[in-house]
Chain A
Amino acid sequence: MLEIKNLHAKVEGEDIEILKGVNLKVNAGEIHAIMGPNGSGKSTLSKVVSGHPEYEVTEGEILFNGEDITELDADERAHLGLFLAFQYPVEVPGITNKTLLREAYNTIARANDREELDPIEFEDYITEKLDVIEMKDEFLSRSINTGFSGGEKKKNEIFQMAVLNPVLSFLDETDSGLDIDALKVVSDGVNKIANDKNAIVMITHYQRLLNYIKPDYVHVMMAGKLIKSGGFELAEELEANGYDALEKELVLNGEAQ
């Protein structure tokens, strides 16, 4: 589904590369976790894949279902079924969650020659999805993320994911800033959305989230590269020994730069 090949990227107008040759393959039905210390390039990877204009790809390519999407705009990538749950969801005052989602849902439907939903049909559809994150109706008529608590913002990301039903979702530190109850709700939501046709890539600092959403693959990112991949046991190993120990081990083996 997703194939990232030797991806290099930097901030537009600056010289320093943040991604230094990322390779990643994600298939339908898989859940991946990317872990790594602060500043390793995890969040940048999710932004570059979803088409943030601040970044420039200098080398490599991103293939999505065989199509090269490296040069596509963010909205075009969204039309193909790519979704990013933001680490810091953005406030847009005066526009309700419902208005945004109906506009987004129908725009994506149009782009894929699927039928659009009229306001009444959409109301039914969206109300059903509220269960995914255990929120009440009033959540729909509030302005996008405006005045939301940190937990509500993160829940709203997962809610939007449920409504837009993407093929591939990047969750950028969705667990950060959540208390244990909210973390449960959010994780349950993600588990309800996951199926054998879609795929999820979680970006996280801690193993905590992975106890609730079990990944099939765990990757460690350091200095702009995925330096080690494995199963769930790799996350446990990191939690026990820390990133430093892994870095040392790799240096000893001559695998790190």
Chain B
Amino acid sequence: MSEELSDGVKELESMIGEEYKYGFTTDVEYEDFPKGISEEIVRELSRVKEEPEWMTEFRVKAYHAWKEMEEPTWFNATYNKPDFENLLYYSAPKKKPQLDSLDDVDPNIRETYEKLGIPLEEQKMLSGVAVDAVFDSVSIFTSFKEKLAEAGVIFCSMSEAIKEHPELVKKYLASVVPVRDNFYSALNSAVFSDGSFCYIPKNTKCPMELSTYFRINNMNSGQFERTLIVAEEGASVSYLEGCTAPMYDENQLHAAVVELVALDNADIKYSTIQNWYSGDENGKGGIYNFVTKRGICKGKNSHISWTQLETGSAVTLKYPSVILKGDNSVGEFYSVAVTTKKQQADTGTKMIHLGKNTKSTIISKGISAGQSNNSYRGEVKISKNATGSKNYSVCDSMLIGQECGAHTFPYISSENPTSSVEHEATTSRVGEEQIFYLMQRGISEQDAISMIINGFVKDVLKELPLEFAVEANKLLDVKLEGSVG
């Protein structure tokens, strides 16, 4: 590579490595548990949250299941295992956890969300978007609750749902991701502290976008949130989560479980903009993002779509999946994963076809820069009874510079001859020739690079809800923003 070219790539890398803008900490008084995990801690957590007996037992059982499980190592990433005895399993700002009026929210925390560009006052918000704000272990505030209730939609924190809607939570919690599904789902089941709950009744189109913003503030706390979305027959909803965290030298653990249930003709669209702190250029600090996300198309003609823009975290292990149980159901996965510096991402999806004439689409775009490592891991399984089913997968990787890596691990199995599975994969490098071509047409180097990347991710970003497409573009631009010219 010529010197000038390598300068260009360095410039590009520094653009991508733009400083993390959400790395500040908020000064709040905490009500913390002692560090470490035990049955007593789990029981105490349940007690503090004033949970019913069945929930406490659910947690204790999960804790014992987790104790017997081994931490997985099969993924394409290396890191120091979290020290589970040195984590805070409950860390809540000292004020009353769930509030009815914004005036009761700690002004420091309100300011935090302002700084993150998420004002909690309803009149300041994007119209048509309801927000649940989760700060460390607890939900701070949920907006537009009343307006949603008029439509029969329940949107509240998980803690509140356990108390107010126990029959629904009992019925669906751990119905898609069983407690013992994996090491981190078992841990989450034992110690999850909060998260969002959404319930859309029969034949109801949720009148607004729902969203949750997760913020990890406390240095030693793990964040274990639990989200459950249920769309009854003929219901539809679009949900978005956003995530940020301060910059610390220590790694923080984020181990969430998200479950989606779509009954007959229901439609759930779940979008993620993940921008956890990714650590510094030496790989120090950053979030471990170990998340289990799964949806079930339980009813016929149901539809679940995952869209994710993953830009942060030191290590990401995440495979939002769909179980296509209902006949004619449709599962989709659209993903852009950007890794820079020493980030490691092993992400992808699973599409499990059980019903007849089920369809799935996977579009994955990985961008790797710096010394990062970006892997796509996807499984497509078509069972014997899933006749006439179809999968179409595309996974494209783009490399920036010489020191990063991109890998693709597709696992495909089809047990009946009437179904079809198509898989395409490409790897390209943001090349000097592409940049030169656009510059020769008069476009600046920075605009040329941004054009190339935007073109690469276009098929995925267009799947984001309109309200958030702007935010996603802004985030990509921040990652790409630089001092060229």
Seen from chain A, the residues whose Cβ lies within 8 Å of a Cβ on chain B are: 11-13, 50-54, 56, 73-75, 77-79, 83-84, 86, 89-95, 99-101, 103-105, 107-108, 111, 143, 160, 164
Q: Are B442 and A92 in contact (CB under 8 A)?
A: no
Would you give the shortest CB distance from A209 to chain B, in whole angstroms?
21
Residue in B2, B3, B5, B444 with the greatest tally of chain A CB atoms within 10 Å: B2
Would you give the shortest CB distance from B107 to chain A, in whole angstroms?
44
Q: Name the CB-closest residue of B to A84.
A: B440
A105 to B441, CA, bound (A): 8
B318-369 interface with A by 8 A CB criterion: none
Task: Say yes or no for B106: interface residue by CB 8 A criterion.
Answer: no
* Cross-chain pairs A/B with CB under 8 angstroms, 27 sampled: A11-B2, A13-B3, A51-B439, A54-B4, A54-B432, A56-B4, A73-B445, A74-B439, A75-B443, A75-B444, A78-B439, A89-B437, A90-B431, A90-B436, A90-B437, A91-B434, A92-B434, A92-B451, A94-B455, A94-B456, A100-B438, A101-B441, A104-B442, A105-B442, A107-B444, A107-B447, A108-B442
A54 to B458, CA, bound (A): 29
Could you say which of B5, B440, B455 contacts A12, with CB atoms under 8 Å apart?
B5
Q: Name the CB-closest residue of B to A78.
A: B442
Q: Are A52 and B436 in contact (CB under 8 A)?
A: yes
- Residue interface bits B1-24, CB-to-A below 8 A is 1, else 0: 011110010000000000000000
Q: Name the CB-closest residue of B to A74.
A: B439
A111 to B441, CA, bound (A): 13
Q: Are B441 and A100 in contact (CB under 8 A)?
A: yes
Task: Say yes or no for B99: interface residue by CB 8 A criterion.
Answer: no
Task: Say yes or no for B433: interface residue by CB 8 A criterion.
Answer: yes
A31 to B214, CA, bound (A): 64
Task: Say yes or no for B125: interface residue by CB 8 A criterion.
Answer: no
Residues of B with C-beta under 8 A to A79: 442
Q: Are A93 and B455 in contact (CB under 8 A)?
A: yes
With contact pairs A12-B3, A75-B445 given, residues A95 and B451 touching in the complex (Cβ less than 8 Å): yes
Chain B residues within 8 Å of chain A by Cβ, number:
28
Q: Name the CB-closest residue of A to B456.
A: A94
Task: Say yes or no for B469: interface residue by CB 8 A criterion.
Answer: no
Residues of B with C-beta under 8 A to A105: 442
Residues of B with C-beta under 8 A to A90: 431, 433-434, 436-437
Could you say which of A54, A84, A103, A160 contacts B443, with CB atoms under 8 Å apart?
A103
Would you give the shortest CB distance from A89 to chain B, in whole angstroms?
7
B448-485 interface with A by 8 A CB criterion: 451-452, 454-459
A227 to B454, CA, bound (A): 46
Q: Name the CB-closest residue of A to B459.
A: A94
A108 to B458, CA, bound (A): 26
Would you give the shortest CB distance from A28 to chain B, in whole angstroms?
21
Q: Name the CB-closest residue of B to A99.
A: B451
A160 to B436, CA, bound (A): 15
Q: Are A53 and B442 in contact (CB under 8 A)?
A: no
Q: Name the CB-closest residue of A to B433.
A: A90
Would you give the shortest CB distance from B397 to chain A, in whole angstroms?
13
Would you give the shortest CB distance from B330 to chain A, in whole angstroms?
24
- Residue interface bits B112-132, CB-to-A below 8 A is 1, else 0: 000000000000000000000
Q: Are A92 and B443 in contact (CB under 8 A)?
A: no
Q: A75-B439, A107-B444, A143-B455 are in contact. List 10 more A-B contacts (CB 8 A).
A: A53-B8, A79-B442, A83-B440, A89-B437, A90-B434, A103-B447, A103-B451, A104-B438, A104-B443, A164-B441
With contact pairs A95-B451, A95-B455, A100-B451 given, residues A107 and B4 touching in the complex (Cβ less than 8 Å): no
Residues of B with C-beta under 8 A to A12: 2-5
Q: Name the CB-closest residue of B to A47.
A: B436
Would you give the shortest CB distance from B138 to chain A, in whole angstroms?
41
Q: Are A78 and B456 in contact (CB under 8 A)?
A: no
Could you say which of A86, A103, A143 contacts B437, with CB atoms under 8 Å apart?
A86
Residues of B with C-beta under 8 A to A13: 2-3
Q: Are A78 and B3 in contact (CB under 8 A)?
A: no
Q: Name the CB-closest residue of B to A79.
A: B442
Q: Are A92 and B432 in contact (CB under 8 A)?
A: no
Residues of A with C-beta under 8 A to B458: 94-95
Q: Are A92 and B436 in contact (CB under 8 A)?
A: no
Q: Name the CB-closest residue of B to A89.
A: B437
Residues of A with C-beta under 8 A to B434: 90-92
A173 to B122, CA, bound (A): 62
Residues of B with C-beta under 8 A to A103: 443, 447, 451
A76 to B443, CA, bound (A): 9
Would you give the shortest CB distance from A204 to chain B, in whole angstroms?
19
Would you give the shortest CB distance from B285 to chain A, in whole angstroms?
33
With contact pairs A54-B5, A74-B440 given, residues A92 and B455 touching in the complex (Cβ less than 8 Å): yes
Q: Name the CB-closest residue of B to A81.
A: B442
Q: Name the CB-closest residue of B to A55.
A: B2
Residues of B with C-beta under 8 A to A54: 2, 4-5, 432
A143 to B454, CA, bound (A): 12
With contact pairs A53-B5, A54-B4, A54-B5 given, residues A78 and B440 touching in the complex (Cβ less than 8 Å): yes
Residues of A with C-beta under 8 A to B8: 53
Residue in B8, B439, B444, B445 with the greatest tally of chain A CB atoms within 10 Å: B439
A53 to B435, CA, bound (A): 10
A13 to B442, CA, bound (A): 26
